[in-house]
Structure 1
Amino acid sequence: MRLRRRGAFAGVLLAFACFVQAQAQHAASPVRLLDSIDLDPARFDDAFGGISGIDYDARQRRWLLLSDDRSGRAPARFYAFRMTRSDAGHWRMGHARRVVLSDAQGQPFPPPGLGREAVDPEAIRLAPNRNSLLWSSEGDGKDGYGPAVRRIDRQGRELGRIPLPANLRLNPTGRRGPRDNATIEGMDFTPDGALWLAMEGPLIEDDLPAAEGRTALVRFTRLRGDAASDDAQPRQFVYRLDAAPSSPHGTAADNGVTEILALDDQRMLVLERSGAPTGDGRFLFHCRLYLADFSQATEVAAIASLMDAEITPATKRLLLDFDTLPDNPGNLEAMAWWPSHDGRRDRIVLLNDNNFVAGEPTRLLLLALPPDLAKPTAR
């Protein structure tokens, strides 16, 4: 379907159509919840929480859990953590090792407002060569630092940065580029070795963020190969966010992408998260898991603004509305493949970001994908 964005009325009709389509798809949701468990903070440290990224390091047999703490409770960090589950459903968990993230000078990142670059960690992935890791930061727009993707070793030491397209970098005018706290939230490698980056929300020049009754277009960026060289030509495609559901508290709700997971070179799982303040300092979250197909999507890297552009976004199919689970898991931000012995990718693991709210657990969900998606993939 080719779309041209013209006027508020067209936006309302589109939002309604997306809602109807999502409801129809939800009726036959093929994803199953296999298990859930709350992680024991005693196996981590006093600063544990805010988990926004996860991946599995098969070489070390450890899970990597990235915290989005902006060095407020402890230096920016991830945790290396052993965790297994038997076929009978019994969990075994070890004690985690904290790994501090450091900059190019080998220094931990400071909290915002101190004149040095502060970070907002959001996604972590093992590189295809299994010798290094990548992690993304949304940046710190107030202090003049934009989003970044860094390559690090297993000790958290920076090895280099991934060059980003110009339109994903912070624009000092504030009239173009990424919005503060709505930048690179999702990241994964496709089997062909390309690195994909998903923006949480639209660029300033691409129109307003998603809200109640309003969808939004966000850019997914594909960087060639392992994206390690300056000549890696970026490609960009469009994904349409759902409109945010109405808030029962009468507060403004948003919606954005929080993580992606590649099925193959063209299709990926996309996690959308909507949040609305409840008035007591907390948020009510609504999360949905989609299958997005970019094979017919318009390549938009050369399009300066999506507001009046004729484009074809990725198709999307609702796999699971998490509101249908017996217990709302909250703010889901982390997603990774559950390891298998035969290379078959039929299960995924998700974790919520508890926002360091007292009494709010870090919950892990184990989901089974439908057979048509669960195919062995060489990575």
Structure 2
Amino acid sequence: MTWKAILVGSILRISLAAMLFSDAALNAASPQIELIGKLAIRGDHRDATEDQRKLEDGSHANQFGGLSGIEYRGTGNRFLLLADRGAGDGAVTYHCRYHEVELAADPATGTLSFQLESTHLLHTLAGEPLVGSSAAHQQHQHNKNAKHAWTAFDPEGIRLLADQSLLLSDEYGPHIVVVDPSGRISYEFTVPDKFRLREPENGVVQQGIYSNRGLEGIAVTPSGNRMIALPQSPLIQDAVIEDGKCLGLNCRSLVFDGNHNCIREIVYPLDNLASGTSEILAIDEERLLVLERDSKAGLEAKTKKIFLIDIAGASDVSGIESLPKTDLPENIIPAKKSLLIDLLEPRFGLGGENAHEKPEGLCWGPRLADGRRTLWVCCDNDFDASISSEIYCFAVDGLDR
């Protein structure tokens, strides 16, 4: 064998070893995902308020459901579940609320357990009920009296703060508020004006959040010094209105500092024009998870995904009045994005005919005995008594740095 053949053989062996090492390193770094279990709560389940009244559409005032957000209390198996605006898509004066529940996962049996502990009603700073009525929201929009306080609320995101108060986001205003342990609003963030829901001018809305596409999720980083709120879809000025839908890929998120000041707006790129965001959850100060989905159930469902994003190098677009519907200019860098979990992946058994229309909430739960983190997902049944509220628990390994 000549020296050239020996050299070529050595180079090939080194290259192959490098490739194998690279693949092994990549695989080792890839998070490992396991579905621990799935829980279904009957659509006619009642909450803990004992309110026996019936609302305008005949739905029960104490009907459990509409789960739009989930958060871990930080000890034991205690979680918070946030209900949205009630039955009938805003047609009723449902008193907004959240629930405290016990949720436990048993990896050995692949089962989840659920126990409702209490229900807490939400109130304005003045003590008035926060209601999911779209009529109440429209009344506030049209009321020119500056002293008229808003009472309409469509809760979508919930996070526990260090002082045990709650951070909530909603779709109507949209609003971001801090709620004290009694359920009363104690503070409201200032949301940039460009995100406000506007009234039509000459029959057309030119700016702001598109109706019912407000702040779907909110995240708090581990330090507590950064909070990120994410709308369901792009702002009207960053999209095109077609067939009653706000279509675009570039979804602005709001970044607040520890003093509740909005310091940045960054772009989260949606996967396709048919999907929107449902939740955002912090891993650390720069990495987050985003739940993105379409509005289809069963075999028609195509997108029910949890993405890992990194906002470290994302551009601040707060000074940009309007973004393109799809492609961004080269000088605008969106959040980096990669797929973590496809909920419709066959191995999980959550897709096909079983696909729930609305996976809505995400939170971390207690670690398992083997050190893996638990990631919990809750699904919104729109208070439909014929549809179960579903909760999933995943074990996630490999995201810690």
TM bucket (normalised to shorter chain) is 0.7 to 0.9
Amino acid at match of 1:180: S
Cα deviations by residue, 1:87-106 (Å, 9 ceiling, x for unpaired): 53464433331111111211
d(CA) in 2 for partners of 1:362, 1:155: 26
AA paired with 2:129? P
After superposition, what is the alpha-carbon deviation per residue over 1:220-265, rounded to whole angstroms, capped at 9, x for unaligned? 11101151xxxx2420111110115xxxxxxxxx311100111111
* 1:77 paired to 2:97: yes
8 Å CA contact retained: 1:43, 1:96:
no
Name the SS for the 1:113 alignment partner: helix
Question: Cα gap change, 1:271/1:91 in structure 2, threshold over 3 Å: closer, same or farther?
Answer: closer
Question: What residue is the counterpart of 2:108 in the other structure?
Answer: 88
1:291 aligns with 2:311: no
Tell me, yes or no, if the aligned pair for 2:291 and 2:306 is still in contact at 8 Å.
Answer: yes
After TM superposition, the structure 1 = structure 2 runs for residues 48-127 of structure 1, keeping only pairs within 5 Å, are 48-58=64-74, 62-70=78-86, 72=92, 74-86=94-106, 88-89=108-109, 91-110=112-131, 111-114=133-136, 115=139, 117-127=151-161
User: Is 2:345 aligned against 1:318?
Assistant: no
Over 3 Å counting, the alpha-carbon distance change for 1:151 and 1:60 in structure 2 is farther
SS in structure 1 opposite 2:393?
A: strand
1:44 corresponds to: 47
Gaps of 5+ in 2: 1-26, 49-61, 141-150
Is 2:379–2:391's contact at 8 Å kept on the other side of the alignment?
A: yes
Q: Partner letter of residue 81 of structure 2?
A: L
User: Does structure 2 conserve the Cα–Cα contact (< 8 Å) formed by 1:52 and 1:123?
Assistant: yes
Instruction: Give the count of matched residue pairs.
Output: 324
Q: Helix, strand or coil for the counterpart of 1:178? A: coil
Partner residue of 1:237?
A: 266
| Distance 1:256-1:209 versus aligned 2 partners, 3 A rule | farther
Does the CA contact (< 8 Å) of 1:47 and 1:74 recur in 2?
A: no
Give, as a single letter, the amino acid of the residue that structure 1 aligns with 2:282.
Answer: A
Partner of 1:175: 206
1:150 equivalent among 164, 170, 177: 177
Secondary structure at the residue paired with 2:38? strand
Counterpart Cα distance in 1 of 2:388 and 2:34: 22
> What TM-score, normalized by structure 2, do the two folds share?
0.73
Provide the C-alpha distance between the structure 1 equivalents of 2:300 and 2:180, rounded to a whole number of angstroms.
Answer: 35
Three-state SS of the structure 2 residue aligned to 1:323 is coil
CA gap 1:33/1:60 in 2 versus in 1, 3 angstroms: closer
Which structure is larger by alpha-carbon Rg, 1 or 2?
2
Give 1:277 deviation, angstroms: 8.2
Separation in 1 of the partners of 2:76 and 2:366?
13
Match of 1:221 among 244, 254, 257: 254
Which residue matches 1:203? 235
TM-score, with normalisation over the residues of structure 1? Answer: 0.77
CA distance in 2 between counterparts of 1:292 and 1:60 reads 29
SS at match of 2:344: helix
Aligned equivalents of 1:283, 1:358: Cα separation in 2: 22
**How far, CA to CA, are the matches of 2:321 and 2:31 in structure 1?**
37
* Secondary structure in 2 matching 1:205: helix
Q: Aligned pair in 2 of structure 1 residues 362, 126: CA closer, same or farther (>3 Å)?
A: same
Does structure 2 retain, via aligned residues, the 8 Å contact 1:208–1:216?
A: no
Q: In the aligned structure 2, how far is the partner of 1:365 from the partner of 1:120?
A: 23
Answer with 41-50 or 149-158: which moved more.
41-50
Secondary structure of the structure 2 residue equivalent to 1:289: strand
Quote the RMSD (CA, aligned, Å): 3.1
1:22 paired residue number: none
Greater displacement, 152-161 / 303-312: 303-312
Map 1:322-337 → 2, pairs under 5 A: 322-324=343-345, 325-328=348-351, 329-330=355-356, 331-337=358-364
Matches of 1:215 and 1:206, distance apart in 2:
7
Alignment counterpart, residue 319 of structure 2, candidates 272, 282, 302? 302
Q: Distance in 2 between matches of 1:109 and 1:285?
A: 35
Shift of 1:190: 1.2
> Which digits, 9 at most, give the CA deviation of each residue in 1:187-240, with x for residues without a partner?
01112321111111001111237999x76100111101151xxxx242011111
Displacement of 1:38 after TM fit? 1.3
62-71 vs 157-166, greater mean Cα deviation: 62-71
Q: Please tell me whether the aligned partners of residues 345 and 374 of structure 1 are also in contact (alpha carbons under 8 angstroms).
A: no
After superposition, the C-alpha distances for 1:4-32 in whole angstroms (9 at most, x for unaligned) are xxxxxxxxxxxxxxxxxxxxx9xx98422
| Cα distance in 1 for residues equivalent to 2:39 and 2:220 | 27
1:283, 1:112 → 2: CA distance? 29
The aligned counterpart of 1:20 is none
Counterparts of 2:242 and 2:166, CA distance in 1:
31
Distance 1:277 1:268, change over 3 A: closer
Hey, what does 2:21 align to over in structure 1?
A: none
| Higher alpha-carbon deviation: 309-318 or 343-352 | 343-352
Q: Which 4+ residue blocks in structure 1 deviate beyond 4 angstroms?
A: 40-43, 89-92, 209-212, 282-285, 341-345
More moved, 357-366 vs 195-204: 357-366
Matched position secondary structure for 1:64: strand
Structure 1 alignment gaps of length 5 or more: 1-24, 140-145, 245-253
Q: Within 2, Cα distance between the matches of 1:217 and 1:209?
A: 14
